[in-house]
Amino acid sequence: MIKTKSIYDSKEKNDGTRILITRYWPRGIKKDHFDRWIKELSPSTELLKQYKNKKIDVQTFEKLFLREIKTSKSIKVCKEIANECIQGTNFTLLCYEKEESICHRKFVKNICEKELSKLMINHKDKCYKY
């Protein structure tokens, strides 16, 4: 299972592995509030600046961010998360934005879930062959 939260939300037992996916360190957060920090799953500095300064809308941000993810090593990280997920690990993707609707973490979650569904199909196919 993959879910998302704000880094400022409280920890829960079912969060599983908590991954911070921000470019910059969130204010007031200690290292023990998450398990991993993967900057590669955050927007580039330039893209983030354009979005925060309202030079691009959310649709353009999503399109450009997805392009960044898919043309970088970041897609490999999403595949690794999916692979761990199929092994039974739960993940929570964390960002400092309070609202998921304006945050990149929902896009990262979708990519990871697509990679997970590919693995599940492959896994199911292998199971049926025996």
Longest CA–CA separation in the chain, Å: 55
The answer to whether 7 touches 34, Cβ cutoff 8 Å, is: yes
The pLDDT of 113-124, averaged and rounded, is: 82
Say whether pLDDT at 130 is over 70.
no
Strand pairing of 36-37 and 17-20? parallel
The answer to whether 94 touches 19, Cβ cutoff 8 Å, is: yes
The domain segmentation of the chain, as residue ranges, is 2-129
pLDDT tens-place string over residues 49-99: 999 999 999 899 999 999 999 888 899 999 999 999 989 999 999 999 888
Q: Which residues contact 62 (CB under 8 A, 6 or more apart)?
A: 107
Which pTM was predicted? 0.88
pLDDT at 72: 84
